Structure 1
Amino acid sequence: MYLLIPGRHQLLTNFQQTYLTKLLNTPLQELKDIYGRAVTTPGKIEAVIFAVTSANHSNTRRNPLPFYLRAISIESMAASLPVPVYIYGIDDVGSLDSFAGYTIKRIKHESDGMFDCRPANTLVVCSTPVLRLYESLGFTILPAELKDINNWEHHATMPWDLVEHIARVPHWEEDDFVKQEMHRTAYEVWKKYKLGQKVKQLFNDTMISSDGDLTETRDYNVYVRQMDDIAGLKYRETAAYLQPGRIGDIGCAVGSWIKLVTKDARLRESDVYGIEVSRHLFEICKQRKENGEFAHPFVFFAQKNAVTGLVFDPHSMNTIHTSSLTHEIESYGSREDLLQFIKNRYDELVPGGVWVNRDVVGPYNKQQQVYMLLNREDGNNEDPYKTFAERELLSQYLQQLSTYARFLRFERDFRAAEGYQLSYTTVVAEGHTYLQLSLQDAAEFLSRKDYTDNWQSEMHETFCFWDFDEWQEQLRSAGFKIHPQSYVTTNQWIVENRWKDKVSLFVPEDGILKPYAYPVTHMVLVGIKE
C-alpha cells in the first residue's frame, strides 16, 4: 500500500511531518477518510510518494521555488519517516479535468513502472479541491489539514497560507508564526537560498501574473515566429553600438537576437545574459540552449523582472540591449515602473557602457489634430464589434473587416481595460468623410491595426506615449548621455504594405486639407553611462 501526496509543495509544515508520522504508525483500519469513514483497504504503508506538481515552473507567484529546492526539503524531511519516500516531478499542463489521471501515468512512467498507483493499492493525502479529481477515479482520500469538506474548513495551517504570510511579514526568519508552523528542513532551504526575499518580490510585482506572464491573451506560437522573423533586422540596427564584454538582453523573448550576438566574430569572447520575465518564453530559451542553437556556450538565461530591481550586478555590464520592451512596461505597469527601469539600467552599466533601446515611439506634435481618411472598400463593414470566444476566430473576423470598420473596433477596444477613451469626430469635407483625432491616437491605430493575431493582447499596449525628444529627456534625467547616432525612423515596408491606400492623413492649411506625412514607427536610442 502506498501514500500518494500530490501538491506544489512550495514548503513543508510541522503538521505535515507529524501527520505523516502518525499515519505510518497507525494500522490502516484505524484511519479515517475525508468523510470520517474507516479505511477498508488492507495491508500496510510501504512507501510515500510525493507528486510535486508544476515541477517545470518556478520564479512565479504561484510557483516561486524550482523543483529541485522543493525536492531537497522533502528528501530532508523524509529521513525521519519509517518508510522510503519517493519524489516525482509532474509538469504543468494547465487546467485539465483529467489531471489526476495524468499524474498517475507520469508517476508510473517516471518510476519505470515501479509504482502503478490504483485505488486498490494507494491512499491519497489531500486537503484541497484537487482531491475531487482523485476521488472521481475511486481513490480513498485522507484529509490531512481538512476538517470539514462541506465548507473546506481546515484545522491546521495550509502550506500556501504560510507562503503568503512570509510574503507579508518584514522579517520572516524571526517571525514566531513561521517558526511555529514551518518544518525545519523547509526553513533551512528557504533561509539558505534567500527564498523569502524572492517571494516578497514576486508577490509585490503587480505587472506579472501569478504564472509569470505580462499578458494571458498572447498566442506564443505566433509571437515566437515573429521574434525569429524580425531578429535579423533588429540585429542590423543595433550591432554597431554593442560593446564586447558582458552583454545583457533584457526581454530576450526566445533568444533570437542573442543567437546573432554569438555568431558575431567581434563579440566572440563576450558573455551573454538573457533575461526574460515570461515563464513560457524562458522555457523556450532554455530548450534552445540545450539544442545547441547558440554559437558558443557562454550564454546564460534567467527568469527575472527587470522593473522591480536590478537583474545584473551594479556597474557590471558593458552592453544592455532591450527591444520592444519599454513600451510594455508603460502599458502593463506604470510610468513610475518605466522610470525605475531606466534608472536600473544606468546602475547596471560600467562607466562608458551603453544601453541600446530599440522600441516603438510616438510622433512629434502628438496632440496636433489630423484628419484621417480610411478605406471602406477593402473589407467588410458589418458589425465590427462582434465577439468570439476563441482568439483564432476573432483574428479571422478582424482580417475580413475594412480599414474603417477595424478602426471602429480599435476605438472601442484600445486600452478600454485601462480606462482610456479614444476621442474622435466625423468631418465631411471636399466630398469625403474624415475622422478628426489627435496625431497620437492616429499613430496608435496605425501601429496596431494589423496585429489581429494577438488583438486582445495588443489592445492593452500603448506605443506613442513619448516622442523621441521626450525619450531622450528621460534618459538624460537618469544620467545618460545620448549617443549622437541614435535615431528615429519610419519603416517604409510598413508604409508600403500596411498603410498606403488604406489610411491617409491630412491637416488643414489655407482652408484646404493637405496631405500629412505618416508618423515615425520606431527608434534606436542609445544611452551612454558617463
Structure 2
Amino acid sequence: MEYLLFPGRHHVLTRYQAEFLRRYDATIVWAVTSANHHTTKRNPVPFDRREAAIERLSVAVGIRSLVIGVVDTPPTDDFADVTIKAVEAGTDDEVQLDPSNTVVACSTVEVAKLYEQLGYQVIGVEPEDEPRPWDVLLMVAAGNDDWRKLAHPATVDVFDRYRLDAQIQRCVNDPVVGDDGGLTTTRDYKTYADAFETAADRKWEQIKDFVRPGRILDIGCATGATLQLVDADPRFHESDLIGVEVARHLYAECVHKKEQGLFHNPNVYFYQRNMLGSAVFPARSIDTTLTLALTHEIWSYAAGSRPETVQRFADALYAHTAPGGVWVNSDVCGPGEPERSVVLALDDSDGANPDEPVELEALHDPAGYISGLSTRARFFQFAQDFRRNASVPFEYVERDGKLVLRLADAMDFLTRKDYVDNWLSETHEQFCGLDFAGWSAVAKEAGFTIDPASKAWRNDWVIDNRIAPVASISTVTGEAVDWPDTHQLLIAKR
C-alpha cells in the first residue's frame, strides 16, 4: 500500500485518529471535502484552518501527508470518483490513486460502498463506541469543554489560536441560517443577486445624503452592489467600507468582486455573519449602518419572538453606533392601519383556478405552476404556504366571491403574488409585520432619535403595474380604499 486515502470534512482531528494513522507506513492523502465552505452549520471551520491542523498533526505523529481540498458537491453516486480526480488535479497528476496502490479509510457506510464499487479496499476508522469527529465538534458547539480530551492537540492548538470554538458555536447554534449558509433551502440566489444589482442605484439615490463618512457598515450587503456605489463616491474615499452578509452564496460574490478589483478603496472588508448572534463590532465604532431590504427578514425569521428579536437587533445597532452616527433603514413595511378590515376582490380570469392549493414541494416546476394560476387562485395557494412557512394566522372569510381580511394581510399577499421564482422562500417572510410607526418605535426604544426626513411611502409603480390591474380593496360597506404605503425610509440618529 502506497497511499491511504482519508476522505472527510476533517473539522476536528481526534486523538484516536492519530493513533489509527500511526499504524500505516503509507502517505496519508487527506481529501478534505466541502473545502470551499466555511462559517456554515455543516462546515463551520474554514479549509485553511483544517489544513493547518492536519499538517500539525502529521508532524507530531510522524506521518507523511498530502492535503487536498475537494469542493462541495450535491449528493451524488459519483462522490468517490470526484475525490479521486480531485487528488489527481490537486497534485498536478503526480499522485494517481487506484485500487492497486491505495486503501481507503472511511467509517461512513454509504460512502465506503461508493469506493468499494470502484474496487478499493475500505477499512473503518472509528469503532462504534468511539466518538466520531462530528460528535466532538458538537461538544464544542454546546460549550462542553470535554472536547479537549478527545481532540488531538493539533486541533486544540489551532482552535485556541484562532478562537474557532466561538465561531463553531455561532455557526452551529444559529437559529436562522440553514446547514449550508442560506436562509431557506428553496431560495434561488441567482434571482436575488440580479434583483439587488438592479435596485442598487435606485436605493443609493434615496439614502446617499444621509450617509456619514467614517466606518460605513452595510448589514445584509447581498452582492456588495451598494458598497460599490459608496466606493465610487469621492465623499467616502477615506472611509472604511464593511459588508456583512449571512448567505454564503451572496457573501462569495462579494469576495469575488473584491478579488476582481471592483473596489478602489483598499479598506473594504466582508464578513459572513448573522448579526442576531453575538456582537460583531465594538461599542460606538460605526458611523453609518445601512440596512436595505433587511429588517423584514429579521422580523420574519424570528418566529415566536419577533418583537423581542427586532428590538435586540436595534439595540445592538445603537450600541455600535458612534455619537452623531446614523442607522439608515430602507425596507418594506406594513400599512398604517394594519388591523383595518377590508374587502379584497381578485381577478380570476388571468389564469387557472384549481379546486384547492397543492403541495408545491412535490412539483417539478413550482414556478411554472404558480405562473399559470389566476390572481385569485394564487391567493389561496399563498394562504396555505404563508401560514405554514411564516407561522402566521392569515385569517380571511369569503363573502359573495370576495375576501374579507386584515389590510396588512391583503398587502402581504399583493406585494408578493408575483414572486413566482422564489415563492416557497418568499412565503417564509412577512412584509407587513410592522408598520412605519412600529419600526420607528423600535428605533426610539433602542435610544435613537428619528430624523424628520424619515417617512413611509408607496411604490406607485408596483401598485399601477402589478396590483391595481388585478385587485381592488374596499371597506366592508363598499367604499373604495386608497392603496396604502408599502415602504419605509427610516433615518435614526444617535
User: What's the TM-score bracket when you normalise by the shorter of the two chains?
Assistant: over 0.9
| 1:133 match | 114
| 2:49 match | 69
C-alpha displacement of 1:81 = 4.3
Matched, 1:12 2:18: no
Write the letter of the residue equivalent to 1:13: T
| Aligned with residue 492 of structure 1, among 452, 460, 463 | 460
Question: Helix, strand or coil for the counterpart of 2:349?
Answer: coil
Unaligned ranges ≥5, structure 2? none
| Aligned with residue 180 of structure 1, among 107, 130, 149 | 149
| Aligned with residue 197 of structure 2, among 216, 223, 228 | 228
Write the letter of the residue equivalent to 1:453: D
| Rounded Cα–Cα distance in structure 1 between residues aligned with 2:361 and 2:433 | 31
| Aligned with residue 134 of structure 2, among 160, 165, 170 | 160
Matched, 1:350 2:322: yes
| 2:257 match | 288
C-alpha displacement of 1:489 = 0.6
Distance 1:266 1:390, change over 3 A: farther
Write the letter of the residue equivalent to 1:187: V
C-alpha displacement of 1:324 = 1.2
CA contact (8 A) 1:249 1:321 kept: yes
Write the letter of the residue equivalent to 1:67: F
Distance 1:383 1:269, change over 3 A: farther
Question: Helix, strand or coil for the counterpart of 1:453?
Answer: helix
| Rounded Cα–Cα distance in structure 2 between residues aligned with 1:427 and 1:157 | 61
1:171-227 deviations in Å (ceiling 9; x for gaps):
x2xxxx334311111111111111112222223221111222111110111111111
C-alpha displacement of 1:417 = 3.5
CA contact (8 A) 2:344 2:473 kept: yes
C-alpha displacement of 1:396 = 1.6
CA contact (8 A) 1:13 1:183 kept: yes
CA contact (8 A) 2:242 2:270 kept: yes
CA contact (8 A) 2:310 2:442 kept: no
Distance 1:168 1:389, change over 3 A: closer
* Greater Cα shift, 274-283 or 132-141: 132-141
Distance 1:267 1:220, change over 3 A: same
List, as ranges, runs of 4+ consecutive aligned residues in structure 1 with deviation greater than 3 Å: 80-83, 386-392
* Greater Cα shift, 445-454 or 127-136: 127-136
CA contact (8 A) 1:331 1:461 kept: yes
CA contact (8 A) 1:249 1:320 kept: yes
Structure exhibiting the larger radius of gyration computed from Cα positions: 1
CA contact (8 A) 2:137 2:147 kept: no
| 2:348 match | 376
| Rounded Cα–Cα distance in structure 1 between residues aligned with 2:289 and 2:263 | 19
Question: Helix, strand or coil for the counterpart of 1:114?
Answer: coil
| Rounded Cα–Cα distance in structure 1 between residues aligned with 2:361 and 2:300 | 24
Matched, 1:446 2:414: yes
Unaligned ranges ≥5, structure 1? 25-44, 147-153
| Rounded Cα–Cα distance in structure 1 between residues aligned with 2:364 and 2:234 | 42
Write the letter of the residue equivalent to 2:406: S
C-alpha displacement of 1:311 = 2.1
CA contact (8 A) 1:392 1:453 kept: no
The 5 Å alignment of 1:209-248 reads: 209-248=178-217
| 1:394 match | 366
Write the letter of the residue equivalent to 1:75: E
CA contact (8 A) 2:88 2:94 kept: yes
| Rounded Cα–Cα distance in structure 2 between residues aligned with 1:391 and 1:267 | 49
1:338-385 deviations in Å (ceiling 9; x for gaps):
221111111111011111111110111111111111112222223462
| Rounded Cα–Cα distance in structure 2 between residues aligned with 1:263 and 1:391 | 45
| Rounded Cα–Cα distance in structure 2 between residues aligned with 1:401 and 1:82 | 66
C-alpha displacement of 1:289 = 1.2
| 1:78 match | 58
| Rounded Cα–Cα distance in structure 1 between residues aligned with 2:63 and 2:15 | 18
The 5 Å alignment of 1:138-153 reads: 138-146=119-127
| Aligned with residue 467 of structure 1, among 410, 430, 435 | 435
Write the letter of the residue equivalent to 1:213: G
C-alpha displacement of 1:267 = 1.4
C-alpha displacement of 1:434 = 2.3
| Aligned with residue 309 of structure 1, among 269, 278, 283 | 278
Write the letter of the residue equivalent to 1:515: A
The 5 Å alignment of 1:415-454 reads: 415-428=387-400, 433-454=401-422
| 2:22 match | 21
How many residue pairs align between the two structures? 489
| Rounded Cα–Cα distance in structure 2 between residues aligned with 1:321 and 1:384 | 42
| Rounded Cα–Cα distance in structure 1 between residues aligned with 2:155 and 2:388 | 44
| Rounded Cα–Cα distance in structure 2 between residues aligned with 1:14 and 1:440 | 57
| 1:320 match | 289
- Give TM-score scaled by structure 2 length: 0.96
| Aligned with residue 48 of structure 1, among 28, 45, 55 | 28
* Greater Cα shift, 272-281 or 82-91: 82-91
| 2:339 match | 367
| Rounded Cα–Cα distance in structure 2 between residues aligned with 1:269 and 1:255 | 18
Matched, 1:112 2:81: no
Write the letter of the residue equivalent to 2:123: L
The 5 Å alignment of 1:197-216 reads: 197-216=166-185
Write the letter of the residue equivalent to 1:237: Q
* Greater Cα shift, 389-398 or 364-373: 389-398
C-alpha displacement of 1:392 = 7.1
CA contact (8 A) 2:343 2:405 kept: yes
C-alpha displacement of 1:389 = 4.9
Write the letter of the residue equivalent to 1:141: V
The 5 Å alignment of 1:505-520 reads: 505-508=473-476, 512-520=477-485
| Rounded Cα–Cα distance in structure 1 between residues aligned with 2:57 and 2:297 | 43
1:257-276 deviations in Å (ceiling 9; x for gaps):
11111111211221101101
CA contact (8 A) 1:356 1:525 kept: yes
| Rounded Cα–Cα distance in structure 2 between residues aligned with 1:348 and 1:131 | 50
Give % identity.
38
Write the letter of the residue equivalent to 1:282: Y
- Give TM-score scaled by structure 1 length: 0.89
| Rounded Cα–Cα distance in structure 2 between residues aligned with 1:417 and 1:458 | 9
| Rounded Cα–Cα distance in structure 2 between residues aligned with 1:106 and 1:420 | 46
Question: Helix, strand or coil for the counterpart of 1:124?
Answer: strand
* Greater Cα shift, 314-323 or 124-133: 124-133
CA contact (8 A) 2:241 2:269 kept: yes
Write the letter of the residue equivalent to 2:55: E
CA contact (8 A) 2:22 2:63 kept: no
| Aligned with residue 523 of structure 1, among 477, 482, 488 | 488
Write the letter of the residue equivalent to 1:18: E
C-alpha displacement of 1:94 = 2.1
